[in-house]
Structure 1
Amino acid sequence: MRVLLVEDDENLRFGVAAALRAAGFAVDEADDLPRADEALFVTAYDCAVLDRMLPSGDAVALVERLRRDGLAVPVLFLTARDTVADRLAGFASGGDDYLVKPFAVPELVARVRSLCRRSAVVRPPVHRVGDLEIDTARRQVRRGGVLLTLTGREFAVLEVLAARADQAVPRGELIESCWDEMAEPQSNVLEVLVSQLRRKLGEPPLIRTVRGVGYRLAPPGAR
């Protein structure tokens, strides 16, 4: 899942982005409204986290325009403005959630995850591929009934593959969905992660390499 984080406080932005990445999200960062506008125009996000008051203006105006243009990306506002009128203005503009500063970062991560689940594409709560079970709500993976320990990024890649089970998922799509703009597309980060994931999933193998394309998650014996 890919998130846009817009915050002009560099230290806060760094901390929130690090927490989201540790939770398995791909995070793109911006520090003003023009950069946020450009990012939202060129990239499809599962959620946008916007500081309400930025030196370049009030993010409410940006969200109002996005909604008029038909962009339905879920929006979480971050703000020090905590009056009822401020919150109502945020929701009236098309915002989906509102978190007042100072906030607990784990709560923000939980709220972002909840908003991402509201995306237009309905995802089943549990994917099953052979004896592999991926519970997206609890973020748990079991094979043969045994609970596996995956990193946030490993879970993110497996979730994308599971949503397209039996289909070849292009390498570029996996990179775009599970890494942020800081990732180098030509590097071997995906290959290294898939190797680790295969090792954790065990035998017989479930993730297959589709030469010239990417990877496919399929039950043993599938062609």
Structure 2
Amino acid sequence: MALVRTGRRLAVLLAAVGLLVSGLFTGTAAAHGSATDPASRNYGCWQRWGHDFQNPQMATQDPMCWQAWRDNPNAMWNWNGLFRENVRGNHQAAIPDGQLCSAGLTEGGRYRSLDAVGPWHAAVKPRQFRLTVTDQARHGADYLRIYITRQGFDPTTQPLRWSDLQLVTATGRYAPGNGIYQVDVNAGSRTGRHIVYTIWQASHLDQSYYFCSDVIFQ
């Protein structure tokens, strides 16, 4: 009987561990959101490698994602949780230069690898494009603010600072709806590699999301 009870306890323990691991590696169930087109850095890494994140070929094919997965896999599994609370609209005071892509090392520095300087995978876009934020929790938006780096900034060699960004689009409110918020963006005369920086101010409380998306303008 003792062996039976021990076996049952072991089965229960293994089942609990299985649920924990399953929850860790399938992303957060109570999700928030991210820029999905052009993809934020961590959403793009999850999208490209989430099914194959231990593949050593990532090191040569996608080196910036490789360093991000090595640093903290939860930055990708939790691609929808890159936010700060109670910023009160004072974004520049809350997020230091060099930490814009990690939202000022939010969540205990979970997303710090997103600030790494280097050749991040970049989406090719025309200079007039539509940006999409996907809000899985349907929080709504007080506004979106879309910035693009100035011409001449090189994200492969320079850390991102507020002075490198230029505001190109600011929106009004979005109702939660289907959780898809889109805005048409005009990059002006920019060419080559840039960072599109999106601030999504959620409506359900003072919760601000910050996304770095790497693009190459044709």
Task: Give the TM-score normalised by the residue count of structure 2.
Answer: 0.30
Q: Which has the higher contact order (CA 8 A, sep 6+)?
A: 2
Q: Whose strand proportion is higher, 1 or 2? A: 2
Q: Whose helix proportion is higher, 1 or 2? A: 1
